[in-house]
Amino acid sequence: MALLFKIPVLFAHCFEQFTQARFIVFCASVFFGSVIFNWMLLHFRRSSRSFSLGRLLVVTADKSENDALQVGGLPLWFVSLLSLGTVFIMYPYLLDPGQRPILIAAGFSWIGVFIYGSLDDRFEIRPVVKLTAQLLLASVVCLTAATVISPTNSAVIFIVMTFFSAAILNGANLIDGLDTLSFKVSAVIYFGYLLLAANIACLPALFLTVTCFFIMCGFYFFNREPSVIHLGEVGVSCLGLSYIILSILIFDGYSKLNPPLYALTKALLPVVILLVEVGVSFLRRLLAGKSPFRGDKLHVHHILHRRYGFSASAASSLIAGSYLIFLSLSCYLMEPYTSLIAFLSLAVCSIAWSFAVGASSWFRGQIRINIVDAFLVKEEVKILPASSLRSFRIVVTEQKEKS
């Protein structure tokens, strides 16, 4: 695979401007910073002393069976922001002029992710508020990127980018359901972006990929089954935002070489698993006569874990491993054919894999579509037409209190 052999060229290009020793120190600092930060969070919970900072940071996951912390996103958020800010300030020559405003806008969105994610981890905000916050933060980056990449078609690009950004953020949230699943899937996604960045020598994409990957490696030691720390809303939103920024950087680089549609399919190729997860979850709930916005435990990773008896780690490895195979084949197809064919092939393989695993659990032999109930009727309220009832009666029972 030609793209694979271009990765050493990308690193060699990085070492020419950043030096190999500094790069190794940078990666090691990011990794150990993540490990130390996660360890400190556990220390705050286990310490018998009263830490005001600890009480502020430590949030226990309500759905955890072993009382795990739901704050793994804090190291990801803080270390990545600090690391990329250091590169941005100390080594500005690594960035193209057009990339600087995109990354500045991404920094503001990164701060916003921390605010709404922390509120959701602590108080569990309403889904409509969460979705509004996601769209607002994604639009900040997408609007800046659209004006930089194509000032003449900025409106169309902004709408397309915002749509896919919302899907990526929600997909990152849906895929975070088992121990180590987010780490393993994110590793495959970052590998895909590294391949694409190598083809156009995009150094900002390299640094963002490497930074987030080594932070997640440090998080892995605390998220192994049974996990003691979960990512939480801050973490999955940071992952989703990193994918969005990488997509924009890749789209910006390839749009100078390819038509917009082909540049877009290349930029979205590594995150097809997230887009498919959102689309399949929406579709299967409609086909089962349920609201597409109602949460459930019928995602592919839940089915592998609960119905087929895979451990959380084994189910996560199976999902990430199969997606790595699909993504690698798609990257291979992208070279002799086109990125559009590669994108569609990856989407078809991912959808077929999801339905092969989950169809029997989703529909149980029957498909019933009720769009009216799914979109217009509240879950706890059911309206029956008068024509469907011949008669009815109301029975009132009175229960006497024992003296």
Res 363: pLDDT? 73
**Least reliable range by pLDDT among 50-54, 85-89, 130-134, 358-362:** 50-54
Contact 265, 342 (CB under 8 A): yes
Res 47: pLDDT? 57
Instruction: Give Cβ neighbours of residue 288 (< 8 Å, ≥ 6 apart).
Output: 362, 363, 367, 368
- 10 Å Cβ neighbour count for 32? 13
Res 70: pLDDT? 79
Residue type, 338: T
Res 367: pLDDT? 53
Res 385: pLDDT? 53
Give the pair of three-digit tokens for residue 143: 């609007």
Which residue blocks in 201-292 are alpha helix, DSSP H?
Answer: 203-223, 232-255, 260-268, 272-287
Res 49: pLDDT? 47
HSE toward the beta carbon, residue 371, CA cutoff 13 A? 1
Q: Is the pLDDT of residue 129 over 90?
A: no
Give the pair of three-digit tokens for residue 379: 């879950």
- 10 Å Cβ neighbour count for 8? 10
Res 402: pLDDT? 47
In the chain, where are the structural domains located?
2-388
pTM above 0.75, yes or no: yes
Distance from C-alpha of 149 to C-alpha of 143, rounded to nearest angstrom: 10
Res 34: pLDDT? 92
Give the residue, 158 or 14, on which the prediction is more confident: 158
The 10s digit of each residue's pLDDT in 209-240 is 999 999 999 999 998 888 888 888 889 999 99
Q: Is the pLDDT of residue 32 over 90?
A: yes
Res 91: pLDDT? 79
Among 46-60, 119-133, 322-336, name the most confident range.
322-336
Question: Would you give the DSSP letter of residue 69?
Answer: B
